[in-house]
Amino acid sequence: MERKTKTIAIANQKGGVGKTTTVVNLAAALSARKRAVLVVDLDPQAHATLGLGLEKEAGVSIYRVLTGEKSVDDVILPTKWANLNVIPSEVDLAGAELEFSARPDRLEMIRTALAPVKESGAFDYILLDCPPSLGIVMTSSLVAADGVLIPIQAEFLAMDGLALINASIERIRSGANPSLELNGIVFTMVNSVARLTQDVVGEVRSHFGEAVYETTIPRNIRVSEAPSMGMPVVFLDPRSKGAEAYKAFAWEFMAKNPTRFAAAAVASPPPPPPPQETGNAPTV
């Protein structure tokens, strides 16, 4: 059956909420379940690129596609894990906010750049790792996306951050991308015994209901250590609490976002086994 690609922007204008960690580990857990995944690193810090075992390389990023220097196929790189590919970031992307601000197509530029990949049906999921700002790159990412996944911490200011990004989603929905959906909200770095955590989680669930994922990601030292080793925690230590949480989250994500290729496989999933490295992913 023909595959229907879902493009999901993982976004929060507040830094330090586990956004890139969620991108990396969700992508890894999905790939381990035999879903073809493309991570697009749109953050000039390139933490998703590094977290998936690649180095920043001048001339290899979505920036080169946006400037017309390269086609999107030229900048898709395989990782060492099957089904998992990356469009890396590079330092030149840091100038995109200023450089592209006068472009008449600035809102549609990322959607246009990724269109050949999406239309090819080569991937089940395209995950956009957005920069922690409400600038042009994030806005263009939201225009390119089918849905927005928002990682947040269970802290006092969480609702304020959600209000800001929800306002951005509504602006995009009323203009350049009417089909944009709130894919969901996932709590990260959770301390389940803290009273504040319980209060914030309860408040967010009361406001957003089923949009909040049931799975929460706990604070876990192995999750923190994994980026320095260039590996997602689901591969580095698949039995750690953080890895188990991300694997459970991937199952929930797939059930909520089935592709035609995967729809029959995600109903009532069994507990996932530890993912195994299965060789190089094919280039596209």
CB within 8 Å of 137: residues ≥ 6 apart: 42, 93, 96, 97, 110, 130, 131
Q: Could you state, in order of their start, the residue ranges of all structural domains in the chain?
A: 6-265
Q: 79 pLDDT band (50/70/90 cuts)?
A: very high
Which of 11-15, 157-161, 177-181, 196-200 has maximum average pLDDT? Answer: 177-181
Q: What pLDDT, on a 0 to 100 scale, did the predictor assign at position 15?
A: 82
Residue 136 phi, psi dihedral angles, 5° rounding: -65, -40
Instruction: Of 28, 198, 271, give the one whose Cα is nearest residue 127.
Output: 28
Integer angstrom CA distances of residue 104 from 107, 140, 176: 8, 12, 13
Q: What pLDDT, on a 0 to 100 scale, did the predictor assign at position 2?
A: 64
CATH number of 6-265: 3.40.50.300
Q: What confidence tens digit (pLDDT) does each residue in 232-277 have?
A: 999 999 999 999 999 999 999 999 999 754 444 444 444 444 444 4
Span 57-83, average pLDDT: 94
Mean pLDDT (the chain, rounded): 88
Q: What confidence tens digit (pLDDT) does each residue in 106-148 have?
A: 999 999 999 999 999 999 999 999 998 888 999 999 999 999 9
Q: What pLDDT, on a 0 to 100 scale, did the predictor assign at position 122?
A: 94
Span 5-14, average pLDDT: 93
Task: Decide if pLDDT at 72 tops 90.
Answer: yes
